Chain A
Amino acid sequence: MTSLPSPAPDRQFTRLLGQIGYGLAALAITLLGLMLVTFLIGRVVPTDPVLSIVGERATPAQIAAIREKLGLDLPLWQQFFIYVRDAVQGDLGNSIRTGKSVTSEIARYFPATLELATLGTIFGTLVGVPAGVLAATRPGSLADQIVRVVGLMGYSMPVFWLGLIGLLVFYGQLDWVSGPGRLDPTYDMMMEFTLTTYTGMILIDAALNGAWDVFGNAVSHIILPAGLLGYVSMAYISRMTRSFMMNELGQEYITTARVKGMPEWRVIWVHAMKNVLVPLITVIALSYAYLLEGSVLTETIFAWPGLGSYITDALFANDMPAVLGGTVVVGVVFVTLNMASDILYRLVDPRARI
């Protein structure tokens, strides 16, 4: 009469495997679709990659030779097949501008974006979640108004404007932080020639090398752009946290917790927060993905050599392999984050575990 249905453990395991397999298949299909679209766009734009290699005055024979070398004489589907085959092996072709492998270039640019976006998301979450909770627990109060206005500003003010003002005030006037770039030139040389590179993220690499002067310089460079991105993501996260939290605090189980005499901090930070986390994970992952895709404007203003700058520069130079490669990486990041948030979601919500 009081027994509970529970699937046998081996069946649960099979189901888990199935879910993982499903996730990987979805990942593969999404990426394939993304590659196809970017590939086709790259092929239909009216720029001739051959021309930019051989120059205007090449003979038809020279052009034909290059076309053959690049595989451009093959049918389109075959070109795509070759592109995918190489991409799977980590070869995204060579940049037309520099002649270097796109993969190795992205491996240099992406860590800069990763470092900036991760720090920004950490800022945004550490400030945004408590701010949203504070606002939700005192709706209409002064604290709520402040959180709302500050959040609204993060929404509506242009990033480049905020960035320039930030540079002007904190770098130009107050001299509290360092200017554009990831490091001062001297430290940049040190980083390049005397320290071991592990991740390409300067903060982590400098710490691993024990080079605390480099670390300090990197902090003074990254704090402003990371703070700016953190502010933008904080605006989004605090607003969503507020509305999720308001919704949870209106639920009956909250009254139950209070009936049990639980203190208010526990009602909010344990009972309600565990439920808020379910949708909030997706929000944080989305905002992280948004920053990771390369916040072009921020990277431009702060001369930050990241993925956003890389793709933009490549676009202006008609460097299609580089654009394509960058886009594929953005796609991989996006899909991976989506999957990660899906897994986390299942961990925090027992109802999604089936």
Chain B
Amino acid sequence: MSLLEVRNLRVTFDTETGPVQAVRGVSFSLGRERLGIVGESGSGKTMTGRAVLRLIRPPGRIEAEAMTFDGQDILNMPEREMRALRGKRIGMVMQDPKYSLNPVMTVGRQLTEGLRLRDRLGRADAVAKAIAALEAVQIRDPHRVMDAYPHELSGGMGQRVMIAMMLIPEPDLLIADEPTSALDVTVQAEVLSILDGLVRDRGMGLIFISHDLRLVARFCDRVLVMHKGLVVEEIAAANLLAAKHPYTQGLLNCLPRIGGPRGPLPVLDRTGV
């Protein structure tokens, strides 16, 4: 049985100028594997991820034929039960750590609040767990980071704090929205290998949202290619770089090639979709 099952998911925003459809009928299923979602900016990747957690805020609304997590109907589940899943069994690494961390709370308090409130851990235990989580994402001076405020962190460090925060409860499903975009190559490799380890050893399911087609091709098992709120292609990651679909090919053509000719970059051709 798959971990997550999404059928015909739609996310609509009722704006003053009429409804805007951010996600227009997305279906996929996820096992204990690494599923990539790629697509240009505004194609609905983030909204798809948030809809799974039912965290689209008004005026946005979620509709779907079915949405199940581990056999439970998360589409019609009461908010109370949904909240029990969030942060414990399903986590989400938010896209932009600069805006996604509370600016007036220390990193330490943000890391430990779930442990203290939900798991009723004592202060010392919670802090020890948080520090271990920071060390796992390659932060060398975790004590100082614990006392820091978000504005004192670099983009890459904020991103690692965010990842640590979401990994602390050891979720069964992690939605990671551009989790490594601000990391340098070596740290990125470390973080990816942590995620990889969690999928392989603990059987976590991973939705990996990214702009970086090469990275997704290398790291994921399967890939959804999104365009204007629709999945235009679902493909094994190994075959991504040889994709036949015109939109995917268009995305691929926009990648600069190392050692390739240095002409102007081709422009994405959207007419074929």
Contact = CB atoms under 8 A, between A and B. Distances in A.
B200 interface: no
A274 B105 contact: yes
B99 A261 contact: no
B58 to A, nearest CB: 9
Given A256-B94, A259-B91, A261-B84, A351 B103 contact: yes
Interface residues of A, number: 28
A144 to B, nearest CB: 14
Interface in B110-166: 113-114, 117-118, 138-141, 144-145, 148-149, 151-153, 157, 162, 165-166
Contacts of B140: 1-3
Nearest to A277: B104
A4 B57 CA distance: 35
A343 to B, nearest CB: 16
A91 to B, nearest CB: 45
Contact of B102 (A4, A275, A278): A275
B104 A263 contact: no
A253 B109 CA distance: 14
Max chain A C-beta neighbours (<10 A), residue from B104, B113, B117, B140? B104
Interface string A338-354: 00000000001111000
B59 to A, nearest CB: 11
B30 interface: no
B94 A255 contact: yes
B125 to A, nearest CB: 18
Given A4-B141, A262-B113, A262-B117, A256 B105 contact: no
B144 A4 contact: yes
Contact of A253 (B83, B88, B102, B141): B102
B86 A260 contact: yes
B101 interface: yes
A252 interface: yes
Given A2-B157, A4-B152, A259 B103 contact: no
A257 interface: yes
Nearest to B98: A252
B100 A255 contact: yes
A258 interface: yes
B103 A253 contact: yes
Contacts of B114: 260-262
Contact of B87 (A3, A259, A350): A259
B22 interface: no
Given A2-B157, A252-B94, A252-B99, A261 B104 contact: no
Interface of A: 1-6, 250-253, 255-263, 266, 271, 274-275, 278, 348-351
